[in-house]
């Protein structure tokens, strides 16, 4: 009679499934030059999550305005709209078990169609769009679905190397039902030739993890003669967690 194999020890870490650290880029990735100074010099520490981290915050529908999820018009003058190809971004926010996360707050920001951000320290000389602010937010519904409208962001050069360009992307900051479920990430677009050339994305060595950063064209949700649609699902925690930019301390 053969002996049964020992049971695998349960993953520890408060009430959450631990992150899969091997899927995330190394903190030190020399082709991404600022990581040389920003990467930790000592071993990481992990602490159990606290009750307040697992139970807060709580967001309500009253936090959002009627145009928060429409970046085409939420900064535009009356009767005007942002310049550029119109897009719809939609998908689901999922927990570590694959269930939809209701009431998650998504905050998004991006460059305009010319690849320029609206902030004081912007160094790229592409023109500003007077009708595009570059930021918005939305809440997931009861099944974890979200949707917002925007314009396709443009690529832009950045002073990392002699000729480095960031692929077109949208930044996401989102909260699940607790502070421990916060994720900061970026969404890219399938087929962009700059993706394999980007030093930042070069740090994501797991092809599956890199694929989770790339939105796919979703013709079913495209609006004819108006907007293309892209699907981008986000997993907050667990072994299939979306690649995040947060510091790696904690779970």
Catalytic residues: 117, 156, 166, 169, 171
Reading the block at residue 28, the tokens are 């030190």
* Residue of 132, 141, 67 lying closest to 103 (CA atoms): 141
Cα(156)–Cα(134) distance, integer angstroms = 15
Among 242, 187, 196, CA closest to 215: 187
Strands (DSSP E) contained in 111-209 are 135-139, 145-151, 156-158, 164-166, 169-175, 183-189
Distance of alpha carbon 142 from the chain centroid: 20
> Is the separation of the CB atoms in 157 and 171 below 8 Å?
no
Q: How far apart are CA 70 and CA 67, in angstroms?
A: 5
Closest CA to 182 of 105, 120, 249, 108: 105
DSSP-based three-state secondary structure for 213: coil
Distance CA 193, CA 196 (A): 7
């Amino acid at each position: 009679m053969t002996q049964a194999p020992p049971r695998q020890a349960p993953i520890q870490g408060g009430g959450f499934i631990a992150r899969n650290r091997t899927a995330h880029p190394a903190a030190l990735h020399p082709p991404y030059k600022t990581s040389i100074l920003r990467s930790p010099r000592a071993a990481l520490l992990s602490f159990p999550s606290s009750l307040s981290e697992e139970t807060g915050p709580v967001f309500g529908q009253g936090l959002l305005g009627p145009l928060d999820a429409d970046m085409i018009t939420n900064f535009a003058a009356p009767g005007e709209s942002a310049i550029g190809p119109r897009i719809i971004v939609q998908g689901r926010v999922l927990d570590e078990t694959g269930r939809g996360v209701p009431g998650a707050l998504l905050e998004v920001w991006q460059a305009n169609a010319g690849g320029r951000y609206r902030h004081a320290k912007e160094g790229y000389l592409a023109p500003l769009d007077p009708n595009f602010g570059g930021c918005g937010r939305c809440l997931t519904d009861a099944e974890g679905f979200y949707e917002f409208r925007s314009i396709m962001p443009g690529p832009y050069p950045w002073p990392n190397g002699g000729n480095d360009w960031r692929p077109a992307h949208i930044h996401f900051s989102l909260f699940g039902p607790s502070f421990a479920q916060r994720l900061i990430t970026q969404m890219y677009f399938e087929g962009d030739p700059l993706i394999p050339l980007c030093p930042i994305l070069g740090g994501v060595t797991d092809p599956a993890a890199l694929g989770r950063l790339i939105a796919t064209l979703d013709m079913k949700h495209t609006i004819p003669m108006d907007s293309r649609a892209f699907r981008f699902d986000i997993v907050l925690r667990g072994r299939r967690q979306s690649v995040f930019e947060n510091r790696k301390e904690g779970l």
